[in-house]
Structure 1
Amino acid sequence: MKRIAGLLIAAGLVLNGCVAKSEPEPAYQAESFPLAAASWPLQSLLQNLHRQLSPDPDWLPPEASGSTQAAWRSLIQVVNPQPRMILAYEPSAAMRRELQDYDTLWQAQTIGYDALVMITGSENPVDSLSLDQIRDIYAGKITNWKQVGGLDQPIRIYAQDENSGLQTAFERQVMQGVSIVNPTLDWFYERAGVVRQAVAAFTPTSDALGFSSRLLVSQVNPSPDLKLLRVNGASANAKTLENGKYPLKLPVLLASNTASDATIAGITDWLLSVPGKRWLSDQGLFPTQ
């Protein structure tokens, strides 16, 4: 996207050889930050982005709480006619249909990568699973940890809500069209006289297997009771995601419901610049190439 007038250069421009290399790189500042929302694991990223680019350091995102589905739904202009942006994981197929049903013209740019990580309880002796093993476990072909080098106990699998960005990524990258069998469910109170079954929140026991965002479990909500499993023998880090040894990239998208808002275009432009990529790395994301 082209650089736009809505962004002001906050530091002096480096002129052809006239400034020493130790001078800080230019930083960009948005005069007016747009309406914005984020997937829950990316809320702190959105808040820090505002603090980085906005003159108002005390801003709190009014729509930052909620699911990936809620973030994408905020782009529907029938409900919210103003230009807005979101930081989110990929939308589910159902969410894409909903956007289409409301004739929402949206666009998205990958600004960096999180990692989809497999998690278990810290006391589980298993440290690594292959992608094929994970698929077979969630398909019901492997049902006991002993089959993958662990203790002789049934594997309790956990999934996410069907419209979750993490569930969407897991189904696309891991299951590849194979159905998930028997995830752990709980009964939930919905309203007076009505209860329903839904996916259960992950419990970090030695028999549990689930998936999450690396950003969420390592920075936003870390727990000593969790173990991150290697996948295909590789841990998730910048090097293994870049060279493909870690197979589960989780794209982080900056999406908007307009192609003409100068400030949103400028923020996207800055995040794809060298200083912006460095900033994203400092926030725990892996930059794009």
Structure 2
Amino acid sequence: MDWSKTIYNIIVVVVLLIVFIHFTIGLLLIVLLNGNIQWIPFVITAGIVILINCILFTFRFFTSKKRNLIVASISVLALSIALIQPIQYYLKNRIPTVGADVDVYQYIPFSTVDSVVKLEKQATVQLTESLPIIDGATAFYPLYAAVAEALYPEKEYNPYDSEVMVNKTPTAYQNLIDGRVDLIFVLAPSEQQKNRAKIQGVELKLTPIGKEAFVFFVHAKNKVEGLSLQQIKDIYSGEVTNWSQVGGGSDAIRAFQRPQDSGSQTALQNLMDDTPIMDAPTENVAQGMGSIIEEVANYRNYKNAIGYTFRYYSNEMVQNKEIKLLEIDGVAPTKEMIRSNTYPITNEFYIVTTQNSNPKSQEIIDWMLSDEGQRLLENVGYVPIRELD
């Protein structure tokens, strides 16, 4: 036995192992830092395949076509299996999400983009100093950006750090409760948000200023054109699980939900009342470099999916032609049906303040309820809380 060659081969294997470990760890760190966790199995598998092939080559295993074919086949099979998850991830991400984020910068007050609705003449109320800080839901940003342009002095209003911000419903409520903002444009608070306010000794004052339709939508090619309120409840409680049960094709229903404390999730909870809501579809997402958490999956426009939002956000801000809004109890979610309270899921939306709010916040509320403010609200695309002359 040639001990020198054996020792040499062992040293080569040890070196290969060290290189493999460092190289694989480096690749895994790059993958994690880029948030591409779906590639982890492939990176590890590819590293092991390369390592094994190098070891077999070192020990002169590849001495026949049969051995070469066996190793090549096993290597290709292993890599193919490891590629399944990245391919599935790629294909899933080719399916568009619906109602994700919109470009809020197009609605900044006094910007050159000119998407903000303007009054025909100067507003009767003008605030010049000690401006109340406004926050709110993304869906209402076009409205309160227009209000700010009508009532506030002209200057730059960064949507994330100024007197006029947009931080989505959960953050807006928390900012109000914590005293970081003075008034927010939102839907009604969830029970959790009410409890947080109560614990902190904060009284939430809700002033209704307009009405909006809570809408359900499906893929544009879904045969279903409408559902009843009971069918909606049956779907989101898990009683109805296939579109064929409500007049559609034979496809399992993917009933997506929104994160807790979002305005639309609270609206669903109010709609369901005492009917338990089934667990939402979830997906693994990386948070930092270590833990994996379960998070509610963003609505992805599968042909068998159903989701929900609000009419203005869907029709005016997202404008996605790949979805269609469903009639509910035979009524379409149009402004006319909202105005007449005919559409069965019509929600009021509010300016919410607290006892700690800037006193000038009341001037904004009073103006919003005036003919001038209600007319601006309607011109933006919402339905006023009261009839206009």
Sort the TM-score into its range (normalised by shorter chain): 0.7 to 0.9
Q: TM-score, normalised by structure 2?
A: 0.64
Say yes or no: does 1:67 pair with 2:168: yes
Say yes or no: does 1:205 pair with 2:306: no
Residue in structure 2 matched with residue 164 of structure 1 by the alignment: 262
Residue in structure 2 matched with residue 45 of structure 1 by the alignment: 143
Residue in structure 2 matched with residue 249 of structure 1 by the alignment: 346
Residue in structure 2 matched with residue 232 of structure 1 by the alignment: 329
Counterpart CA distance in 2 for 1:51 and 1:146 is 49
- Which AA in structure 1 matches 2:251? Q
Say yes or no: does 1:220 pair with 2:317: yes
Mark the runs of 5 or more structure 2 residues left unpaired by the alignment.
1-119
Do 2:220 and 2:323's aligned partners in 1 also have CA atoms closer than 8 Å? yes
Q: Deviations over 1:238-271 (max 9, x none)?
A: 3312333211123221011237744211111111
- Secondary structure of 2:325's aligned partner: strand
- Secondary structure of 1:191's aligned partner: coil
Alignment partner for residue 202 of structure 2, among 101, 104, 107?
A: 104
Alignment partner for residue 286 of structure 1, among 383, 386, 389?
A: 383
Counterpart CA distance in 1 for 2:308 and 2:376 is 26
Of Structure 1 and Structure 2, the greater helix share is in: 2
Say yes or no: does 1:263 pair with 2:364: no
Counterpart CA distance in 1 for 2:317 and 2:121 is 29
CA RMSD of aligned residues (A): 2.0
Counterpart CA distance in 2 for 1:65 and 1:270 is 21
Do 2:182 and 2:356's aligned partners in 1 also have CA atoms closer than 8 Å? no
Residue in structure 1 matched with residue 53 of structure 2 by the alignment: none
Residue in structure 2 matched with residue 130 of structure 1 by the alignment: 228
Q: How does 1:267-278 map to 2 (within 5 A)?
A: 267-278=364-375
Q: How many Å apart are 1:52 and its aligned residue?
A: 1.7
Counterpart CA distance in 2 for 1:65 and 1:200 is 23
Counterpart CA distance in 2 for 1:240 and 1:25 is 31
Q: How many Å apart are 1:25 and its aligned residue?
A: 9.1
Of Structure 1 and Structure 2, the greater strand share is in: 1
Counterpart CA distance in 2 for 1:186 and 1:66 is 24
Mark the runs of 5 or more structure 1 residues left unpaired by the alignment.
1-22
Counterpart CA distance in 1 for 2:341 and 2:185 is 24
- Secondary structure of 1:28's aligned partner: coil
Do 2:222 and 2:248's aligned partners in 1 also have CA atoms closer than 8 Å? yes
- Secondary structure of 2:251's aligned partner: coil
Q: How many Å apart are 1:200 and its aligned residue?
A: 0.8
Counterpart CA distance in 2 for 1:111 and 1:68 is 17
Q: How many Å apart are 1:222 and its aligned residue?
A: 1.6
Counterpart CA distance in 2 for 1:243 and 1:215 is 17
Alignment partner for residue 183 of structure 1, among 273, 280, 285?
A: 280
